[in-house]
Structure 1
């Protein structure tokens, strides 16, 4: 190799190195220029301003939800038994009152028949008890009237009879008489024994009766009573005057009999008063029985009626009918199954009145309230449907990291073809003001309570008073005038 060739190659390398240095410098200059221009553009973007204007400020909260029926019913048989028939299956739509399922009701029908028979028997016993009580009451009433008036009762009143004139005295000795095991001797002694009770002297016109009457011919009352009726005063008068006491109903009163026997009228009246005081009448109702047969019979009727009501309810409980119109969700058995009373057999939902169930985080739940307006967007559609909040759960549920509160929304006008369990996007408007001074929410910084900061065009910051902070705009209540320019975002 010659010296000339070596030098040429060295010069070529130098030229290439110089060109590379120049190229690198050019690239660096271009990059520097581009960065400078981007900074200028960014600065220009940061200085974009908007004017404060008047309009509406709204605030919404959003989450996902699920379509569900507003009403669901868990239906069961009232009694245990064997499933005889099932008229529906899951997915069927039914009308109110439609029969859904039935049990074998032979035993329940027999129970109703037995209860009806027992009720008829109890009612018959009540009728008999009332008739017996009425007869006993009428008999006691007649006895009481005869005792007070001293004569028989005709058509519910005492018979009025003239008092016979006194007659000549009869011999004062009469044959002893046996009455109730007590014997009365000579009339002059004026003593009478009746059921163990002793009477005083007949001349005094007094007699004691303990259940039996003695002396002369003793009258017997046709009225029913517990034990013999005692008329000891009249018996003593008969023993003294040799007269008799008329049987009740023969048309002759006791006073007339005593007067007829020869006693003076005054003594006859005194003896009659004693006889009346000694007469015992049956108590109205059931004397001495210790119970009220009518009351007992009425209680038996009440119990029989209650048993019949229960039997009929049990018979009705062998059939499940739809209490509302809707869609059958579940059927819990098949024909021939043994089921228990009260166990859910059919699940029914009111799919004609659907709603949306959603859960909101506690940060948003505090602003939710019943009656707020909302929108629902179904998963398979872009259309939005108006809805309204109808319930906010007062107690939240936690998944370990976040507490959520359940909310129910009802459609204002539910669309056709809603499916149970269908997902949906839910938005609820929690705040709204109209025709207020506002700026974009990105224009307000450093908000603390009702205070915030905006940047005026030109770079100066200003403290303002804020109202509702909406999704896009923030209400300005003080510190800014309409039309003033503020930086949109800084």
Structure 2
């Protein structure tokens, strides 16, 4: 009998504990359920107002300098000085690096001496030309032989008259030859070519009026022309030597920041290699790209906003300055490059840092607008009235990311449904 009593008491305790556990679980469930908001079953609404409607294309990009210069030496040599390091800010004309200039200096001195010698030779040739010593001598005619009129005219020597042979001897002696300062008035023979500023010798060679002459059957060059050519060649050689001497120093063509230095003192460098990379960080810009679906909306001059990764709360005004006409394949997509310039370049920008870009591709101001989510696919909205919700067809203008322009069908102050809109008319 005692055994049965103890067994009953144990079962009673188990029942009580189970009941208590059920009460606790129910209380917790009620508390959790009471903390959640009751679904209203009614969609959100908004009022039709006036304001700005904007369409935009958003993308990401990075900062890059507006100008980047790669600088090198104009001659081979050994680096003797490197005056900058990456990150240094430099001014226009500042010497950045130098190489040994011993050989280029000697070359300049040699070519300058050659030019002096050539100029002296040119002066001598000009003096000789003025004195007439550079012309071929004209030989005196043999007895009984006359010079052609053209040769006489070019040489300045007057002809001597010759005796005319007769059939019978004459008792009178032949008159002795006399010198005349004027050529005879007789016309030249029919076989002789007409006179001109440039005559001909008996063998047909040209005489006078040229840069070269023929003496004793050999052609000689004009000394004046040869001297002038020598001076020109010496001037060209001196200019090249001076350029090489200037090229032993790298000077900054623009003010900016040094991005890279490719060598150190003692290194051997060659012509045409890049030794210093310089960037104009004062004209920093944003380089980005957009998918082909949006590239057609971009135009030069469109306004934009830029947000930097290290300044997420600030927006900087910019504008589109370049849109690439040719796209680049990126997997299955084709992307088009776009470059944006800051309206005012922010301070302390970093080359290569990331940026978020939002380009305005369309905008209207002071128009009736509703949230974009309120406009259904068929161009209608749901208007809430005292009699209930009504579907109304409206005219839609510019569709923006946040708002849509309403051109007809609504008035300012109308209440429209923004979420939970069914597509089928009610």
Q: Could you say what secondary structure the match of 1:77 adopts?
A: coil
Question: What secondary structure sits across from 1:347 in the alignment?
Answer: strand
CA deviation vs aligned residue, 1:272-310 (integer Å, no higher than 9, x gap): 546999999973565424644333332332222122211
Q: Is 1:415 the equivalent of 2:339? A: no
Q: Which residue of 1 aligns with 2:113?
A: 117
Does the CA contact (< 8 Å) of 1:440 and 1:488 recur in 2? yes
Contact 1:54 1:436 in 2 (8 A): yes
8 Å Cα contact 1:139/1:224 also seen in 2: no
CA distance in 1, matches of 2:126, 2:322: 60
Residue number among 41, 44, 50 corresponding to 1:43 in the alignment: 41
Q: How far off its partner does 1:101 sit?
A: 0.8
Matches for 1:73-472 after TM superposition, within 5 Å: 73-136=69-132, 180=142, 192=144, 194=145, 209=146, 231-234=159-162, 241-246=173-178, 253=180, 272-273=184-185, 283-284=208-209, 287-288=213-214, 289=219, 291-381=221-311, 382-446=313-377, 452-457=379-384, 458-472=388-402
User: Larger % of helix: which?
Assistant: 1
Distance 2:106 2:78 in 1: 16
Q: Which structure has the highest strand share of the two?
A: 2
Residue aligning to 1:176: none
Counterpart Cα distance in 2 of 1:408 and 1:287: 68
Q: Tell me, in whole angstroms, the C-alpha distance in 1 between the residues paired with 2:200 and 2:410.
A: 111
Q: CA deviation at 1:321?
A: 0.3
Between the aligned partners of 2:391 and 2:181, the Cα distance in structure 1 is 129
Cα RMSD, aligned residues only: 4.2
For 1:472 and 1:427, locate their aligned partners in 2 and report how far apart those are by CA, in whole Å. 14
User: 1:189 — aligned with what?
Assistant: none
Residues 369-391 of structure 1, C-alpha deviations (whole Å, 9 max, x = no match): 22122222222222222222222
What are structure 1's unaligned runs of at least 5 residues? 144-178, 183-191, 195-208, 212-220, 248-252, 256-270
Matches of 1:129 and 1:394, distance apart in 2: 62
SS at match of 1:118: helix
Instruction: Verify the 8 A CA contact 2:370 2:406 in the aligned structure 1.
Output: yes
Matched residue of 2:394: which SS? strand
Q: 2:195 aligns to what?
A: none
Q: Give the CA deviation at 1:230.
A: 8.0
Matching residue within 43, 53, 59 for 2:55: 59
CA deviation profile, 1:379-409 (whole Å, cap 9, x unmatched): 2222222222222222222331433222222
**1:475 & 1:413 partners in 2: Cα distance?**
32
For structure 2, the residue ranges without an aligned partner over 5 or more in a row are: 193-198, 202-206, 422-426
Distance 1:57 1:275, change over 3 A: closer
**Structure label with greater radius of gyration:** 1
The separation in 1 between residues aligned to 2:244 and 2:66, in whole angstroms, is 30
8 Å contact from structure 2 (residues 135, 213) kept in 1: no
